[in-house]
Structure 1
């Protein structure tokens, strides 16, 4: 009896371990597949994210009587216009700074020459640690000569292909988003499932659109403030640094850290003093602190607040998988996952009444649109039998 019980427990543990191993292998394979399919999936996911952001604009155009295909085309043209104007504004200051890089680098080297003694002390400490740990092996670094022009020429077709996939995917997503939603709801087998799925669709659209539009407004404000700050401290090309701060602010943590480093190097190279590099960096951190702790939470509200640790994990994964594009979709992907989880496992977080009413109305319209149009045939009724008349009683003679 005891042997049978032990064998049963062992088989149960072995079965659980096998299931866990299968799930782990599936997750690893999915991660690798997502990373390897970057050329196709990255622009596609970015198009869906941008499409959710510009969805209200397309809805506004459709309410004015424009067909879906035309409204989607106008939104794509508007986005192209913004990208071209932004690239033209960036081109002039960037070309100017490309010519000034040697001068700035000489000033940075001159300032670094004053730090030789601390660096030498650190080097001596490193040698002592190596001698104590017995690490006498030397590392040889070889730099292979490669042509930058050849590398750019090899990357250009891939970049153009990804841009083409992004624009085409964005257009078709905006033009057919209602059809995709109704077709998905039609696959649900019950009205309750259709109702819940419609709420997920509308909640995702509302949250992602609100988040991206709010963050875009906040980033424009951050860019304007950084422009004024860099102009006040005397850095050249303040518009360039303001625009760069607005763009990098879409990527949490990493974008701000990179912008602070850029301001430090530009300030150090322009003024030739350590204080000149630390001042704009410190002011930028102050602007970012106010924006991250007071402005953005008040504009988004508590319903859009996400744990910073979850944001960091999502950012780490997507940047590992897709690079800068992954950094742009890290937070929207969390919002999508959060909306799905909250409808599967409802929480106590209550959205604003106006938002709940709007989501419910749109979900009801989507559910009604996904209902089958043709009613099922009614069962045939059995023919009525004629009642037999009873024979009349014979009259008495």
Structure 2
């Protein structure tokens, strides 16, 4: 009952919206508690891989956790010491660069000439001073003599000397808060890493025994994605800092180690960090070098690296490691920054990965996976249909051309064109598709099919000219005994969609020596039967695209079977998925030889009828002949 109520809540859009806003409000008002907890979990994901490696080497888990944390703190401490030493040295030498800065600013500002901004500021000050003068009856009053007559009273400000407690609190207060939060995060990281298995069991028990598989898959994928992202992120930022440090050293910028370390560290803050990493060495090069060539080289170095990372490496690497699109990461960064400030920006990518993975496995939250996922999860025929509904002829043609590079023709027909026609028929029955749009869809698909006609299909030619090993003699005998052209007849039951599918089928069987004559708008069923009787084809194919056409097909099959008892009748109910078995049973009950749902299956059935394999008599274990079994056709 509890699972049913939870499922109904997630499937109700109104309740789900209220729940999401309630969670956001809770996270906003409890940010001071949740932010250290989220940071602890993030650091746990980052330190989990080395802990697992140490455990596999035989080290106890507690020792592996302590060793990993100590090494991480030592690395950060050493890095902080180096950066701090260089920062202190830089701060002591900053006054030496004052003269160079003044020279460059004076060359830019051109002393003796006011800039436009300065002139505007001066003019606005004069206007405001004029408006602030007191007036009497619209006449300006000279207040200078009155001000001279009144003696000025000096202002005396008494400032109490702060006590020792106040000075101590003002000096150590910010550091104590930082140390307190840092200690809390460190303790949480230790407990999470040591009790990882226990924590996982608690999460599984929280969601119930019936959701063990779902919960396990979700937590495992979240852990793998975030750990992979953090490892890749750290590697990329370290490489970036190394290249920046080496590049600045080659340019001649002092403290290259400092700028490289800062560049690597600040890039952990998305979007803001790269700008800070660029501005700091640029400003220093402006102050240090007497000319402009070296600062321009610094700009060129950062521009080249950022272009390479942002345009090529980061979208590919981060998209693959996180499974989240670049646009999704940007929007999520804006949201988490609004919610939790700078720390929210730092945690935006891992938190977004969690949402995307949860949306992947929880049906009620599927929209998270759809909106944040790296790739839109659309079937090929849905993408093709979307282009046709938007009347994008060029886009639809290009989509099929790209598909031709990957799939054979029969697969293009069965995976793209036929399902698209079925979607159009469904929407037309619901009155969701205008007649002009449906006509446009028929026109474009017809043009695509016509353009494919005459283009050699390698798969079909190989089937016709190079049979499979072990069957070459039988196929050669069939080709030798078969007539040059085998006449077949295709009947379109309802509308143009049925005609288009028959044209596709004709292309698939044409290289095998079969000619399909397509009959559309043949009149009444009696007239259709007369045409079939007159032309006497080897096989008749009835074509209709769901959801319409089943009743007409059944009536036409019954009429044909009543007149032509031995004629093979193949009925194509193209693209049918739900209710395929029931439709096949209803059609075979009135006389259909086979019911097919894909063009590939239709081709195989037709070839089996045109080139029948030699039948071997069925015998029992003692050699007694048995009756032939009748195969019930099943959907493809």
Q: Distance in 2 between matches of 1:199 and 1:320?
A: 31
Q: Would you say 1:243 and 2:261 are equivalent positions? A: yes
Equivalent position of 1:155 in the other structure:
174
State the match for 1:208 in structure 2: 226
Which blocks of at least 5 consecutive residues in structure 2 are unaligned? Answer: 1-12, 133-161, 376-636
Q: Of Structure 1 and Structure 2, which has the larger fraction of its residues in strand?
A: 2
Partner Cα distance (2:329, 2:178) in 1: 27
TM superposition shift of 1:47: 1.7
**Matching residue of 1:61:** 54
Per the alignment, residue 120 of structure 1 pairs with 115
Q: Which has the higher helix share?
A: 1
* TM-aligned CA deviation for residue 315 of structure 1: 3.1
TM-aligned CA distance change 1:299 to 1:26, over 3 Å: closer
Instruction: Give the whole-Å Cα distance in 2 for the aligned partners of 1:189 and 1:305.
Output: 27
Q: Which of 150, 163, 183 is residue 164 of structure 1 equivalent to?
A: 183
For residues 120 and 15 of structure 2, what CA distance do their matches in structure 1 show? 50
3-state SS, counterpart of residue 65 of structure 1: coil
Match of 2:195 among 159, 167, 176: 176
Q: Does 1:267 align with 2:262?
A: no
Q: Following the alignment from structure 2 to structure 1, what is the Cα–Cα distance between the partners of residues 220 and 74?
A: 29
1:33 equivalent to 2:27? Answer no
CA contact (8 A) 1:111 1:274 kept: no
1:107/1:270 contact within 8 Å kept: yes
Provide the residue aligned with 1:110 in structure 2: 103
| Aligned: 1:44 with 2:37 | yes
Q: 1:317–1:112: structure 2 CA closer, same or farther, 3 Å change rule?
A: farther
User: What displacement does 1:337 show?
Assistant: 1.5
Q: Distance in 1 between matches of 2:104 and 2:169?
A: 35
Question: After alignment, is 116-125 or 234-243 more displaced?
Answer: 116-125
1:85-104, aligned counterparts within 5 Å?
Answer: 85-104=78-97
Q: Is 1:83 matched up with 2:79?
A: no
| TM norm structure 1 | 0.70
Tell me the SS of whatever aligns to 1:99: helix
Q: Name the larger-Rg structure.
A: 2
Q: How far has the Cα of 1:312 moved from its partner?
A: 3.2
What is the distance in 1 between the residues matched to 2:301 and 2:181?
Answer: 37
Deviation track 1:355-375 (CA, whole Å, cap 9, x = no partner) reads xxxxxxxxxxxxxxxxxxxxx
Counterpart CA distance in 2 for 1:325 and 1:109 is 38
State whether residues 260 and 285 of structure 1, in contact with CA within 8 Å, keep that contact through their aligned partners in structure 2: no
CA distance in 1, matches of 2:288, 2:201: 58
Contact 2:226 2:353 in 1 (8 A): yes
Q: Does 1:253 align with 2:271?
A: yes
Q: Match of 2:343? A: 325
Structure 2: how far apart are the matches of 1:283 and 1:98?
A: 25
Alpha-carbon distance in structure 1 between the residues aligned to 2:59 and 2:72: 18
**Deviation of 1:231 (Å):** 0.7
Deviation of the 1:292 alpha carbon: 2.5
CA RMSD of aligned residues (A): 3.6
What does the per-residue CA deviation read over 1:136-186, in whole Å, with 9 as the maximum and x for residues that have no partner? 89xxxxxxxx99997542211111111111111111111111211112112
Of stretches 61-70 and 270-279 in structure 1, the one that deviates more from structure 2 is: 270-279
* Deviation per residue, 1:69-122 (Å, 9 max, x gap): 222111111111111111122122111101022233443233222332597213
- What aligned pairs does 1:227-242 form with structure 2 within 5 A after superposition? 227-242=245-260
When residues 302 and 102 of structure 1 are mapped into structure 2, their CA distance, relative to the original with a 3 A threshold, is same
Alignment match of 2:306 (pick from 288, 294, 297) = 288
Q: What is the CA distance between 1:29 and its match in structure 2? A: 5.3
8 Å CA contact 2:319, 2:374 repeated in 1: no
**1:302 aligned to which of 282, 297, 320:** 320
Contact 1:267/1:278 (8 A) holds in 2: no
SS in 1 for 2:195: helix
Match of 1:72 among 40, 65, 73: 65
Query: Once the two structures are superposed, what CA deviation does each residue of 1:267-318 show, in whole Å capped at 9, x if it has no partner?
Result: 1001144443333133112112212322334444536353334333433444
CA-to-aligned-CA distance 1:23-69 (integer Å, 9 cap, x gap):
757644532432xx1xx433322121111112111111222233322
User: Which stretch shifts more, 226-235 or 303-312?
Assistant: 303-312
2:204–2:215 contact (8 Å) kept in structure 1: yes
Question: What is the CA–CA distance in structure 2 between the aligned matches of 1:277 and 1:103, rounded to whole Å?
Answer: 18
Q: Distance in 1 between matches of 2:344 and 2:16?
A: 30
Check conservation: 1:108, 1:268, Cα contact below 8 A.
yes
